[in-house]
A and B are shown apart, each in its own frame.
Chain A
């Protein structure tokens, strides 16, 4: 069996290629977009067509979903296997998802059922995964090594907060609406109601004040403006508000290490807080996760049920996961045994206090999370699931 992998330089591509290889599947790649970031859909169509003629693969695979690749696969009548690892992915709302040849694997179950309800016949839920070799890296030395408390690796989103840029240009009523939804939604993380509750007036005012954002995402489906406003505009703003707040809260109690390239001026300086520049994903981040007593994950609010990459990366590094409570958590890691969850700042505080004074239990949980990942959540498992899902039901591999 032979797969053509359409690559654009996602960090997940090498893992999935390796996963397919371990299953005995041969892969070839179209790699131009890894370096050429201004590729037009028409160029993509031409490149994929040439490769299909030359390589004659059994299917095409890509990380995330490219409507133009789906077009070519439909014409050639071969399966297009797409695995979305980002959120939001507006291409999931394009008509090409409905083709018989399009098979889409999504890490967020709520999104998978939404895309299915919009007409995608082959929409599946597939959680993200990790690479257990993360656990074998050398420890970081000097100032960069994590401390004795809680670590957070990631963006504070202030550099990506579109609301901060245009706030003063919005009508008063829309400012009020944005502020109210931000406070209410960050206070009730279990259900993302912002998309539904937004008023039409707010959506159009925000679009008017920030046309570039909408053009960048470029969704053309019905409700795209509302979706972008909720997910990409307010969703990012909510992260920019709640991440520093939670870190400021934590550093009031515990030694707190932050690894980020974001502007950290929003963080309150105190004896507990240690600010580091961002770490390299493959060579440094895993060591931070493994060597931190507690690793914080705070999922982007628009991700409704799924587990973000950070959770799997922490587990793959052998680190202890402390995540906001997610609907899908129980299907991947058992809370209390392989990871820990919190629903409120108070619960986070209680659990951090507990686990920082119970080293053995914490280490046991981190180890169990790592074992679970090796057993069920590697990229190879995902590659296998994709192949089985598409060919298993046709009866031949």
Chain B
């Protein structure tokens, strides 16, 4: 099959291309600007020109783009997309119902939300890893120093002057501030049920609009509660949670944090962000414990980081996400924590029990190789 892939700076694009070829497909690419205006017909026109030039059997992109969906519908070519971001407002574009679309999504709960609304071309597909490439990378870099860590966290702390919450918070009226602070405190302690979006009343919405204007797309069905709930509030809850958990860990154990956020965790070794293709797998492989603290807008799905860590042969310590049960066995392939005290206890335990740690990491990597590589996903999407 000839696959035309929209080329933008996404996660996994190199691994995906390799996997397509390894599975016997042809893969061609065209440059795509992910920030192009979705309402500008010119974008769809340029995608159409690419389709006519390449005459593919399928068009593929990581994440979903209405401009590509329009082009594929007009040209009569199936459009396969694989969403790994959440929140992702473009998933609420009215174009998703086009019969030419097949949309794969990494979060089972979110898929069910679409299916309940009779959008049946949205399907569940967890993310993947490329253990083969990573293995080569690791053997090439053997002996390279400076990457060992006891506990390691790679990711955003959602703290900085550009964050939505930081921009909005100083301008909130007292009612809305009291409202949001209470909601955030309530939700922080509760996992497995997100009530932020359903708990925003009109007064709080208009208070947020006055402080940080946001609006829904005219060609989308997303709600204003979705935008503020997931892009602003869930992110702020995650920011506080990550800071809180990492600070508590740094208090007791050596912790290394790789982040681009303007934020310091007292007691932790703070490092700049690293290249996720070349460098992250090495760090994950050499850390005794790798943390995943999922963004709160992800309902049941496994974030990318989980696959990156396990595919690097790293030991994963994660918060509970229901989709974990689809692919892995907790305690055998990975370990999950239930709350802050549990995280601290379990990190202490696994730092001291090297054999168990290694065995779990090896099991995890084996499971990835058996069922969760990009090639497995290519076969699922393209046969």
Q: Residues of A at under 8 Å CB distance from B?
A: 171-177, 179-181, 183-185, 187-188, 191, 193-194, 196-199, 202
Contacts and interface: CB of A to CB of B under 8 A. Distances in A.
A176 B195 contact: no
Contacts of B175: 172-173, 175-176, 179
A174 B189 CA distance: 20
B81 interface: no
Chain B contact surface mostly = helix
Interface of B: 173-183, 185-187, 189-190, 193, 195, 198-199, 201, 203-204
Contact of A180 (B173, B189, B190, B204): B204
B179 A177 contact: yes
Contact of A187 (B179, B182, B185, B199): B199
Most chain A CB neighbours (cut-off 10 Å) among B181, B182, B201 = B182
Given A183-B201, A187-B199, A199-B182, A176 B174 contact: yes
Contact of B193 (A171, A176, A188): A188
6 contacts: A172-B173, A174-B178, A176-B176, A176-B179, A188-B190, A197-B189
A177 B182 contact: yes
Given A196-B189, A197-B185, A177 B199 contact: no
Nearest to B177: A173
A194 B186 CA distance: 8
B193 A172 contact: no
Contact of A177 (B173, B178, B189, B195): B178
Given A180-B183, A194-B186, A198-B182, 10 more contacts: A172-B174, A173-B177, A173-B181, A176-B182, A179-B201, A179-B204, A180-B182, A181-B186, A187-B195, A188-B193
Contacts of A180: 178-180, 182-183, 186, 199, 201, 204
Contact of A191 (B176, B177, B181, B190): B190
Contact of B179 (A179, A185, A193, A198): A179
Most chain B CB neighbours (cut-off 10 Å) among A175, A179, A180 = A180
B181 A177 contact: yes
Nearest to A173: B178
Contacts of B199: 180, 183-184, 187
Nearest to A175: B175
Contact of B195 (A184, A197, A198): A184
A199 to B, nearest CB: 7
Contact of A199 (B180, B181, B204): B181
Contacts of A197: 182, 185-186, 189
Contact of B182 (A171, A172, A181, A188): A181
A327 B20 CA distance: 51
B189 A193 contact: yes
A226 to B, nearest CB: 14
Contacts of B195: 184, 187-188
Contacts of A172: 173-175, 178
Contacts of B186: 180-181, 184-185, 193-194, 197
Contact of A176 (B177, B185, B189): B177
A172 B193 CA distance: 28
